[in-house]
Amino acid sequence: MNKLDTALVTSALKKAGFGLAENEKGADVVLINTCSVREHAEQRVLSHLGHLKHIKKSKPNMVVGVIGCMAQRLGAELLKDKTVDIVCGPAQIPQITELVTKALQENKKTLAITGKIRQKSAENKALEELESVFDSDDSQVPAQAYVRAMRGCNNFCSYCIVPYVRGPEVSRPPAVIIEQIKRLAGNGVKLVTLLGQMVNAYKYNSSGKTLCLADLLYMVSEIEGIEWIRFVTSYPAEEYYEQILKAMADLPKVCHYLHMPAQSGSDKILKAMNRNYTAGKYLELIEKARDIVPGIAISGDFMVGFPGETEEDFGETISLVQIARYKNCFVFKYSSRPGTAADKRLQDDVPEEVKKRRNIELLAVQEKISDELAKQFLGKEVKVLVEGLSKKAVSTSSPQAGVSPCGEKGYPPSLKLRRTSPQLVGRTAEDWIVVFDGPAKLAGEFAKVKITRTSPLTLFGEMI
Ligand code: SAH
Ligand code: SF4
């Protein structure tokens, strides 16, 4: 969601004549797009503002704006910070050019957030207008784009801030989504990811018929130029589940990938989280997915240290992870978010060290599973959509890649070599990360790679 918002802001400002600065010191305007889901994310923004305060001492006219969920949550309180000139909520992003221009000209602070966030508002119309003309994005990965299918959320999981900062659930009209994807495809986009906090709940009434995500997948599949389609995030629920998976099995363009967070394996904790399923039901859904789409890659999110989580509850989470056999998992330590039901009614009673330990333990269990799953790719050929240069693109290498292990620990730096062709990174349709050597111009193109080595999270190989 946030990457998409950043892209929308960048695109709107570029259209208005602004350009991206190399760094903060060279910028006239610094905008920070924020997330409120976890406390840690907000703390990082506050420390970033501390850093900008120093820069502003020598550049008093620099405009600093905070946009997104944290802006919506803290509003005027954030504006009290001397460094901050603009506070702009997610629904006010369509006004960003105006807000920035005004701040540059008038040197006045502006607050633009939604007053009654849980009411459907006119702001949706402006958001729709901004989003529907969004058709190219140079801040994202080449040939890939995110397209929002739904805004907001009505689920109110007890720990979650999203319904309070993103507002009520709204499904965008299919015709608008399709038009937008056609334009993106016209601009070279090959992989489109449909977004929603509970994207599998997508529904839109059109001439007496309700269209669901499966219908949308069929419609997007028809678009020429689009080769892969993904959707995130799925909530574990029966509604439309089979239909969506059948569409996945039926449509060659829909990637065999499901991101379906379980959050916990303990029924007691799931109930306290206000997640409307049990661990048993969740595992049934996973089984159903594998029946309908054999070989489907599934990833999950978990939270450790939710109020009242005992060692026994945590043990149930470990068991669920062992049975589910995810491709990968994201594990978060619970943090209390102001105003949520858990914040009001439950005590954040699991000590930080325990959260940390459980986090590490759960990741270790998952790592073993990911490692086993990755090894199944050895010797196999995979199709990859190339994202660009890998972070370690130059110099060091592994023996498997045919270059001496120069630059690795214990070798003098003078032995460092440059690769003849750079190291690229891409992903398979199932979202496995693949690293291989190849020309940089392949970014945004498909490549065939034979896997020669694996690690729990990455497959390594040679282009064929
Ligand atoms: N809509 C998605 C999740 C969106 S938030 C869903 O329902 O699954 C992304 C992830 O952040 C969640 O899956 C959860 O694991 C984590 N998260 C949300 N609130 C949190 C909190 N208060 N503390 C720690 N992690 C949290
Ligand atoms: Fe938050 Fe639950 Fe909505 Fe996901 S479904 S965004 S966790 S309230």
The pLDDT value given to residue 107 = 83
The bound ligand whose nearest atom lies closest to the alpha carbon of 274 is 2
The bound ligand whose nearest atom lies closest to the alpha carbon of 301 is 1
Q: Is 3.30.70.2860 the CATH number for 2-112?
A: no
Bridge-partner residues for 48, per DSSP?
Answer: none
Residue 413 predicted with pLDDT over 70: no
Residue 411 predicted with pLDDT over 60: no
Return the exposure string of 218-240: e unless at least 16 CB atoms fall within 10 Å of the residue's CB, then b: eebeebeebbbbbbbbbbbbeeb
Cα 19 from Cα 348, distance rounded (Å)? 44
- The domain spans of the chain are 2-112, 125-375, 381-463
Q: Distance, CA 195 to ligand 2 centroid (Å)?
A: 13
Q: 125-375: which CATH topology? A: pyruvate-formate lyase- activating enzyme (3.80.30)
The pLDDT tens digits for 258-304 are 999 999 999 999 999 999 999 999 999 999 999 999 999 999 999 99
Asked whether 2 lines ligand 1 (CB < 6 A), one says no
pTM of the model: 0.91
Provide the residue type at 124 as one letter.
Answer: N
Cα 22 from Cα 222, distance rounded (Å)? 39
The pLDDT value given to residue 139 = 59
Q: Which atom of ligand 1 is nearest to the CA of 157?
A: 7
The pLDDT value given to residue 221 = 98
Q: Distance, CA 1 to ligand 2 centroid (Å)?
A: 13
Residue for token pair 């629920």: 237
Cα 196 from Cα 360, distance rounded (Å)? 29
Asked whether 436 lines ligand 1 (CB < 6 A), one says no
The pLDDT tens digits for 184-215 are 999 999 999 999 999 999 999 988 999 999 99
pLDDT cut 90: percent of the chain above it: 82
Asked whether 153 lines ligand 2 (CB < 6 A), one says yes
Q: How far apart are the first and last CA of the chain?
A: 35
The pLDDT tens digits for 71-107 are 999 999 999 999 999 999 999 999 999 999 999 998 8
